[in-house]
Amino acid sequence: MSMAKIGIVVGSLREESFSKKIANNVAELFPDSCTTEMIEIGNLPLYNEEYDDNPPPEYGPFRSKVKGFDAILFVTPEYNRSIPGVLKNAIDVGSRPYGQSVWAGKPAAIISQSIGTVGGFGANHHLRQVLTFLDMPILQQPEAYLTNSPGLLDENGQINNEATIRFLQSFVNAFLDLLERYQA
């Protein structure tokens, strides 16, 4: 695979969030031919259609940054059986004004996690629905629902379960295969 830039969007703002720690672990699983970078979403004012003609200053750099990536990995917790509001806001900011989406055509993959046993299933599927509308080819298999996320991480924030690491490596490999199909 040629050099690829992967943007990583974390759906949690908490400094010690499990999603952020998982995203950092997964970033290390990409080969040297890829660069990964976290995309900050916490500084974006709430989207308002009135901003389409006069956007807040934070929108421009965010949209430009997203445009510069070849693919996007979303790592998110589940809030109330759906995606966190901050994540939805970032998606909305990048998708507007209508017809100027910075997300369109970028391959995407989703890792959802929860502290319980459902693994963020609701968030994962709601996010899939949104990304499909935005014309983002989404990794279908393997699906990544991480359960008991606090138990997956050691005191240094590293994933401590070899089976989970192997699974996430297969997930990254499948995501790179998807990206390669769309780069060709």
Domain boundaries, the chain: 4-183
What whole-number distance in Å separates Cα of residue 19 and Cα of residue 173?
A: 20
CA distance 2 to 73: 18
CATH topology of domain 4-183: Rossmann fold (3.40.50)
Q: List the chain pLDDT tens, one digit each, 184 residues.
A: 568 999 999 999 999 999 999 999 999 999 999 999 999 999 999 999 999 999 999 999 999 999 999 999 999 999 999 999 999 999 999 999 999 999 999 999 999 999 999 999 999 999 999 999 999 999 999 999 999 999 999 999 999 999 999 999 999 999 999 999 998 6
- 132 CB contacts (<8 Å, ≥6 apart)? 138
